Amino acid sequence: MEKKQSIAFIGAGSMAEAMISGMVQKELFQPSQISVMNRSNHTRLEELNNTYGVTISQNKQETLENAGIIILAIKPKDVAEAVLEIKEFVSEKQLIISVLAGVATTTITDLLNKEVAVVRAMPNTSATIGKSATALSIGRYANENHLQIARQLFETIGIVTTVSENDLHAVTGLSGSGPAYVYYLVEAMEKAADDIGLEKSIAKELILQTIIGAAEMLKSSPKQPAALRKEVTSPGGTTEAGLKVLEQFNYQQAMVSCIKRATARSAELGEAMLQSVSQEK
């Protein structure tokens, strides 16, 4: 990626901040090369300026016409209004990267009515600590070079994989929403720890290290999850007793159904977004 390129963020929420933090820390961009704007929350822009030294601006023309890369990090429901507001300042020489869940690349290019390269990304909230699992897909006018630029950006906040745009709904249901499933599990473990009389701070430390350790085992071991589970499960032992209860409650099927429903909901929201944008054009 050419360091001389500047990058402009439309939106200043938590995902924008995570990306800014990662890019600055990994020195992919200097703070002076990063501009951030939002609709009206100037206090938020000042926070980002004070924390990272980035440029803040409400001058759309100046900011966008000088940017090689434009990041759309607004709320998905605001996409039509936001894109139409910047349309006249966007050229076909620029790259647009969208982190808008459910918004197709064709929606953005149709709103712009220009053959602009768009790369769509689905990170997750672990981006705030540099541990995101991000999937990328390219739009009609994007090429391998555009994809590589986006990959470099998102590698500053975690791991990156590439999928077809049709698969982004599945990614959303699996890893996009995935952190919430883990947090929900931890909530249950904390409740159980309280019920069996463990002190909260001790329980929390044990639970977190258990999850971290299991994740590291899954990452480093060539063995399948089922094999690792069986190694922990002695016949007639405590783990087997606990797992039998999970089986009674169809734990695995509940998780499968959870991810399938989240995937379907992503598709539903995407279709609703498409219809909404069509009406606003």
User: Do residues 13 and 105 both lie within one domain?
Assistant: yes
Using DSSP's 3-state secondary structure scheme, residue 43 falls into: helix
User: Do residues 99 and 13 both lie within one domain?
Assistant: yes
User: Do residues 151 and 195 both lie within one domain?
Assistant: no
The one-letter code for the residue type at 25 is Q
User: Do residues 99 and 26 both lie within one domain?
Assistant: yes
Distances (CA, A) of 169 to 163, 203, 249: 11, 35, 27
- For residue 89, is it within any domain? yes
Phi, psi of 123 (to 5 degrees): -85, -175
CB 48 within 8 A of CB 56: yes
**Per-residue confidence of the chain (281 residues) as pLDDT tens digits?**
444 479 999 999 999 999 999 999 999 999 999 999 988 888 999 999 999 999 998 888 989 988 999 999 999 888 999 999 999 999 999 999 999 988 999 999 999 999 999 999 999 999 999 999 999 999 999 999 999 999 999 999 999 999 999 999 999 999 999 999 999 999 999 999 999 999 999 999 999 999 999 999 999 999 999 999 999 999 999 999 999 999 999 999 999 999 999 999 999 988 888 777 777 66
Domain end position, chosen among 105, 137, 164: 164
User: Do residues 102 and 38 both lie within one domain?
Assistant: yes
Domain end position, chosen among 140, 164, 188: 164
Both tokens assigned to 98 = 């969208």
Let me know if 257 is exposed, middle or buried by CB neighbors in 10 A (0-12, 13-18, 19+): exposed
User: Do residues 187 and 160 both lie within one domain?
Assistant: no
- For residue 205, is it within any domain? yes
Using DSSP's 3-state secondary structure scheme, residue 114 falls into: coil
Cβ atoms within 10 Å, residue 60:
16
Closest CA to 161 of 175, 179, 173: 175
User: Do residues 60 and 194 both lie within one domain?
Assistant: no
CB 167 within 8 A of CB 270: no
Closest CA to 49 of 32, 69, 62, 73: 32
User: Do residues 43 and 126 both lie within one domain?
Assistant: yes
Query: At a CB cut-off of 8 Å and minimum separation 6, what does 101 contact?
Result: 76, 122, 172, 176, 266, 269
Query: In this structure, what CATH number is given to the domain that contains residue 23?
Result: 3.40.50.720
User: Do residues 224 and 182 both lie within one domain?
Assistant: yes
Let me know if 164 is exposed, middle or buried by CB neighbors in 10 A (0-12, 13-18, 19+): exposed
Distances (CA, A) of 36 to 7, 124, 269: 9, 21, 27
User: Do residues 157 and 256 both lie within one domain?
Assistant: no
Quick one: DSSP state of residue 141? T
The answer to whether the pTM exceeds 0.75 is yes
- For residue 43, is it within any domain? yes
Per-residue model confidence (pLDDT) at position 272:
84
User: Do residues 158 and 245 both lie within one domain?
Assistant: no
- Give Dmax over CA atoms of the chain in angstroms: 70
Domain end position, chosen among 164, 186, 212: 164
User: Do residues 15 and 143 both lie within one domain?
Assistant: yes
Give the structural domain span for 205.
178-260
- For residue 63, is it within any domain? yes
Query: In this structure, what CATH number is given to the domain that contains residue 226?
Result: 1.10.3730.10
Name the domain count of the chain.
2
Per-residue model confidence (pLDDT) at position 3:
43
CB 101 within 8 A of CB 123: no
